[in-house]
Amino acid sequence: MQLIDPDHSFYRPLWIRIAIVAVCLGWAIIEASTSEPFWAIIVGALGIYSAYKLLLTYTPPPLKEETETTVAAGEPGDQEKDPE
């Protein structure tokens, strides 16, 4: 089970991925400064996980047009059959 699906088109822009990580880690700092260590650890772990998935190991999914042309070109019905 994935908590974050990095193949979703929502995560393509870099600023969205950075904003998600910044909000999580910023909220963890707020929780730590208000003496709530349980929530600080939970949100901090979520921030670290999102940084790993969205910044360190992120590979952008192919654009929709590229996928459609690749699938259309690779369909077995498009190739002519050998008369042999």
User: To which H or E segment does residue 14 belong?
Assistant: helix 14-33
Residue 2 pLDDT > 70? yes
Least confident of 3-7, 12-16, 22-26, 52-56: 3-7
Residues 28 and 39: their CA atoms lie apart, in Å, by 7
The per-residue pLDDT for 38 is 97
The per-residue pLDDT for 68 is 60
Residues 60 and 7: their CA atoms lie apart, in Å, by 7
The per-residue pLDDT for 32 is 96
pLDDT tens for each residue of 26-82: 999 999 999 999 999 999 999 999 999 999 999 887 777 655 666 556 656 555 555
In order, the DSSP letters of 16-78 are: HHHHHHHHHHHHHHHHHHTT-HHHHHHHHHHHHHHHIIIIIS--PPPPHHHHHHHHHHT-GGG
